[in-house]
Amino acid sequence: MMKRDECFRILARHIKDEAVVATYSSAVDWVGVSPRPLNYLSIGAMGLDSSHGLGLALGRPDKRVVVLQGDGSLLMNLGSLVTIGAVAPKNLVHFVAHNETYEANGGHPIPNRKVDFATMARSAGYAATYDFSDLRMFEQQIAHVLEQGGPVFATLHVEPSGPLMYDYPSLYDPKKREAFKALWKS
């Protein structure tokens, strides 16, 4: 089992001008590791991270989009795997942090902790899928995961975090949306 923030620190070393979509606990960890204007955090409704990511990827096919979704969030929008698999954007990389809990809502377990998201993504039509539970393996393969033609899906098996500070006014600051848009459309 890995730690989510450790995975994100490794991921951050490979991120350049990609849009990074993140929400709730993943957003808190990601912003702690990599605060940057091309972070897209205003999701607005739990589960829609992957759908925002699809829209961003279609809007700028010349740029790469990385989605950092939680397992509880993806469970609320499992159909998005099928939609993304059908649309098949080559520039979308979709991670799910599988900590088996609704971490931002009290740490309660998801309905089935053993759900296999990578298999679901593969059958939904993703071009490549991965399942990481070893940090060294993740570090060895992350460059390839990010560079290949998508849509790519990767499950990160991580431990639940300790207490996190959810500063929603800062995460959802309208000025951050404006700054993101100015960079993303240019």
Partner 1 sequence: MAAPGARKLDGGGIIAAIKASGVEYILSVPDITTSSGLLAPIAQDKELKLIRVCKEDECVGIASGLSYADKRALILIQHTGFLDSINAIRGIAVEFKQPICMMVGLLQHDPDKTPRESSRYGVRIVEPILDDMGISHHVINNDDDIALIAPAIEKAYAESQPVAFLVSRGPDAP
- Closest approach, Cβ 91 to partner 1, in A, equals 12
**Which is nearer to partner 1, 43 or 97 (by Cβ)?**
43
Token representation of residue 184: 């993303």
Nearest to 91 by CA among 157, 152, 23: 152
Q: Which of 28, 48, 97, 154 binds partner 1 (CB under 8 A)?
A: 48
CA–CA gap between residue 19 and residue 104 (Å, rounded): 23
**Which residues, 141 to 180, sit near partner 1 by CB under 8 A?**
172, 174, 177, 180
> H or E element: which one contains 39?
strand 39-40
**Which is nearer to partner 1, 11 or 56 (by Cβ)?**
56
Q: Does 114 bind partner 1 (CB under 8 A)?
A: no
**Which is nearer to partner 1, 45 or 143 (by Cβ)?**
45
CA–CA gap between residue 147 and residue 152 (Å, rounded): 10
What's the longest Cα–Cα distance across the chain? 42
Stretch binding partner 1 (CB under 8 A), from 4-12, 54-62, 99-107, 153-161:
54-62
One-letter amino acid identity for 24?
A: Y
Token representation of residue 28: 């808190």
Binding site for partner 1 (CB under 8 A): 40, 42-45, 47-60, 77, 79-80, 82-83, 86-87, 172, 174, 177, 180-181, 184-185
